Amino acid sequence: MNECHYDKHMDFFYNRSNTDTVDDWTGTKLVIVLCVGSFFCLFIFFSNSLVIAAVIKNRKFHFPFYYLLANLAAADFFAGIAYVFLMFNTGPVSKTLTVNRWFLRQGLLDTSLTASLTNLLVIAVERHVSIMRMRVHSNLTKKRVTLLILLVWAIAIFMGSVPTLGWNCLCNISACSSLAPVYSRSYLVFWTVSNLMAFFIMVVVYLRIYMYVKRKTNVLSPHTSGSISRRRTPVKLMKTVMTVLGAFVVCWTPGLVVLLLDGLNCRQCGVQHVKRWFLLLALLNSVMNPIIYSYKDEDMYSTMKKMICCFSQENPERRPSRVPSTVLSRSDTGSQYIEDSISQGTVCNKSSS
């Protein structure tokens, strides 16, 4: 019968694993990681707070896509909180943690990252349904959107809690992983494969959107020479899709591959030397999300700019108009788009005069 080690501190598990770099992160490397991580977290808190506030403030954003966007911002905000907690419980401090505190540290991180990934997947599906039906917004009711949001967090909390609930190696030391000394290697394989499957689904969804938009562009281009917005909208959509897809690949794939290698017990792969850098890279995805999904949306940009302008009581020069976003860019919304942009651009001027 295997002996369980619930009362041990983490130094017991680190010493038994192949983790030989914990003590090395006490000098310049740890300072760099903490500084870069702190900068990322500050930006995550600021940018995602603006996104959530913009969705609440502007009635134009009271649609399914923007509710999901606000939930994505909330998930990324939570990712910043999880990483702050991690920064205060990493390096040499890791060995002094109790098992429960270490589970809390990793559970917060796993929950936040899973929530962000699941939100990206839900947004991709929502965009796919809307675009395939030639609609600006999907027909999801507020009740269904709320259920989707609750499902996203239920999945995220479940994935973050599974090791604490029993899928760990506290009673089977030989099954412990190297990167996560109290996680079973089988759980790491399960977690990484699940995320890679979600990634594959996203690739398929975005490829379908890309092929559909490309086909529609070829069909409509000879008949839309007089409409700039109709010609630019498909191009804008393709650029946005490729940006989202490329950001996800760059930020997530290296870390998932490293975790999968550790789950497969690859002892010659040198996973310990790159784990923190790949964790920062995964966190970078939460930094990029508000830029990709919000900054490129003309209405979102205008609302965020108005809030910053009114908050700082300044009147910066108005930014030249950009191409409307892929979410609100159909010709039948063009006049309303211009009217709202003009009204939003003059609010701060009126308040400061």
Domain assignment present for 324? no
Q: ∠ CA 70-74-79 to the nearest 5 degrees?
A: 145
pLDDT of residue 224: 54
Question: What tokens does 163 get?
Answer: 């090791």
Number of compact structural domains in the chain: 1
**Between 22 and 126, residue with greater pLDDT:** 126
pLDDT of residue 201: 84
Domain assignment present for 34? yes
Domain assignment present for 286? yes
pLDDT of residue 212: 80
φ, ψ for residue 200, nearest 5 deg: -65, -40
Domain assignment present for 332? no
Domain assignment present for 4? no
Domain assignment present for 321? no
How many C-alpha atoms does 124 have within 13 Å on its Cβ side? Answer: 27
Domain assignment present for 344? no
Neighbours of 171 (CB within 10 A): 13
- What residues make up the domain containing 199? 10-309
Query: What is the tens place of the pLDDT at every residue in 321-351?
Result: 444 444 444 334 433 433 344 344 444 444 4
Query: What is the tens place of the pLDDT at every residue in 171-205?
Result: 888 888 888 888 988 998 998 898 888 888 888 88
Question: What tokens does 185 get?
Answer: 């290697």
Report how far residue 261's alpha carbon sits from residue 268's, in angstroms, rounded to the nearest whole number.
10
| Model pTM above 0.85 | no
Q: If you write DSSP's letter for every residue of 118-181 in order, what string do you get? A: HHHHHHHHHHHHHHHTT-SS----HHHHHHHHHHHHHHHHHHHHHHHHT-BSTT-GGGB-SSST
Which residues partner with 176 through β-bridges? 184
Domain assignment present for 211? yes
Domain harbouring 234, CATH code: 1.20.1070.10
pLDDT of residue 336: 40
Place of tokens 């609010």: 347
Amino acid at 144: R
Query: What is the tens place of the pLDDT at every residue in 127-175?
Result: 777 777 666 566 777 888 899 999 999 999 998 999 998 888 888 888 8
**Between 292 and 259, residue with greater pLDDT:** 259
